[in-house]
A and B are shown apart, each in its own frame.
Chain A
Amino acid sequence: MSVSAGAAEVEAKRGAPPRPVEELDSVVIRFVGDSGDGMQLTGNEFSKAIAKAGHDFATHPDYPSEIRAPTGTLFGVSGYQIQFAARQVFTSGDAPDVLVAMNPAALKTNLPDVKHGGIVIANSGAFTDNNLAKAGYAANPLADGSLGDYRLYQIDIAGLTAHALKDAGLSKKEVGRCKNYYALGLMLSLYSRPLEKEEEDIRRKFARKPELAEANVLALRAGYAYADATEMFVTSYRVRSADIRPGTYRSLTGNHAAALGFVAAAELSGVPLFLGSYPITPATDILHELSALKHFSVNTFQAEDEIAGICSAIGAAYGGALGMTTTSGPGMALKTEALGLAVMLELPLVIVNVQRGGPSTGLPTKIEQSDLLQAVYGRNGECPIPVIAANSPADCFDCALEAFRIAVKYMTPVIFLSDGGIGNAAEPWRIPDPASLPKLEVKFRTEAADFQAYARDAHLARPWVRPGTPGMEHRVGGLEKDFLTGNISHDPVNHERMVAVRAAKVAGIAKDIPPLVVEGPDEGELLIVGWGSTYGSIVQAREQAVAEGHAVAHVHLRHLNPLPPDLGDILKRYKTVLVPEMNLGQLSRLLREHYLIDVVQLNKVQGKPFKVSEIHERIVELCKGGAK
């Protein structure tokens, strides 16, 4: 089916009776275009409008590592997917119900993902011979019937935007930039969302350029009116509001949530935050966010390299600040030696690794979980560092607080693993009452009597002394130290004792880890063990399998070093343990090594998150096969 309508027809159809509205449980929409087309913006704005309607949602931005790849090319395609629903949403969805394709390249690269019979909205004006050739189409797919399996809507978004703005007095280039708001208007109408709030947003966003604000509002209204007035969309859709816990919400990406968590750590402890960092995709947004918060006790320092990023944070921690650094895989590799120093100095420090595809430069803008073993083991010497991982964008807030809680209580560096999916994806965050957040207790030693730099408390943590405190001048360093004084010691027995105590200190963190929550049966055939951003896909896959009558349990790990103390017992209660990971089996190795059990691996290393169906399929196979 293919429909198209021109501007003149739209004019003629005004005042037509409203279209019937179809109720849906959930919708997955993907916006795709050139990386300069503003698809991330369109997606973001749409998700905000959706959130305000009381839906739960999850998003997945997918963009190339080139800032503006040559227009019209297959590798320059940038996309933004959102799933919103009348129920809790855990992933951005497997297959789009609706694809908004701004050019042939976007259509070509994304069509295979679209649900059979799904809606394809094509920006027909961009399907020129030139663009078709760049995308490798021999014939125009809008005209040759090859899209017969989809509900195709051809809309000349660029042309109609230009038509709507012909009197706005803008340059051709400026008009071109308004087309994403036209597309947004189309979608808001199709999904029965009001325009008013979006118009307010646009005027706020472009407050300094009122003429652009008005142009974008015009484009938005034109898109909305077009969808309203044409008969090309035979129905509008409405997704019922989800049953969401009452409260005030905002949409946050994982990187933004982490930044808020770090500020909260500083405020709750009364200790200033210091971020030393070097820009790297996909971690840089944390540095961006914190750099803008100079009215808090937040210092940010864009260092000359990754090494200086962590080293400046170590210096700040030595000075008595909450020192932290943010990076991604290759940067993590560069920070390795300094991590060892932080372990020897026994200073609190948080290192955020927003993982991306590796090794080396790898896939900078894509998702992977392949730095787990690096985090747990990747240093010279016996060099234990606690590792935690966030499982969703909003969870990054809690993990930021948890990372500093461990760091200051145990006087240790802590690695906080996120990934490009979590870092850039947005979901609703229920805004907490700051008074309800757990206090973060920091004690600086000020009592000079009987001071020993490496004397330990019940948690094996040494005292944190701020330089400037009289009577406790002391030296620390990377050389092995005496067990008590911290002075250089090459004594063999002392070294072994220090290696053991550093290991025992980190192992002891396990006693703080709350009991794991297992979803599903307490024992039985199949347990899924996950960590990090696979959370959403696993939850939905399990729910689907349970609905089909399979008995499946799921436990998701936040603490990866040390592992939760009750995990061993839980693992033994199931015949089969399935571990889905976006790597070649790194958690699987850890589980085998720690618990001497075998696990079934499910691995995906394509720079893309698991589809729910991929995990579901494996669950069903294992259940049917009587496991294993």
Chain B
Amino acid sequence: MKYAITLFLGVLVGAAVFVAGLIYNPFIVDRGVSPLSLTDSEVIRLNFSGVPTDAVVYTNDGESRLKPFPKKVLQLWEPSIASTDAMATVLRDARSQTAGIGVKFSSHSERTRLLKGEAMIDSVWYAYLPGRGSLFVEQSENYWQFLRDVVVPAYRSSANNWKGSWIGNLTAGPGALGTAAVTGGSGSLKGLKMEGVESLLARAYSVADGPVSAEGSLLIELPGASNRPDEGASDD
């Protein structure tokens, strides 16, 4: 009997060691700066709050840590959409002025591979920017670094929260350099094929409520002037 108990304790310790090794695996490193942060091209920067209660509407299956907002919004409980979040939010430009409205759909990705440090989300953005046109952003996001640097420390904290300053790029594809594919739909952006990156600046996270203070950003690189049907304005 004592051997069985010893073996069981060994299994528990082994599992814990493996999980700790996975979380703090030094070979899974941050991908560094966004390729678009070094671009010479014009960019559109769209900022939005990363806190669900700051959105116009945010919904999910109703059983996740992030609570739907407003409370009476329809929840996505059906099996096909139970791992999907939907959000509509105001997008602001670099001067914090309203630039438009954005809708984001995101779903857990079957390409998630925790052994490789990939906690993947398949997401799309639709952004309508009055006076400029509409955009469709398609991307895979990797939340591994965010989970490791923000969520796990929040769980380890005796107060069940995390405070600090974490900034990271979430976009991990489908572009070869880890960029999102962006398509212009209307206005001066119509027909344009662009690249983008979504990043997040987190300042506070609570185990009970999720992000308490966080700011998201979409950076979209406009094509070179010679490839553009007309000259639209950009913010930066």
Answer yes or no: are A and B bound together in one complex: no
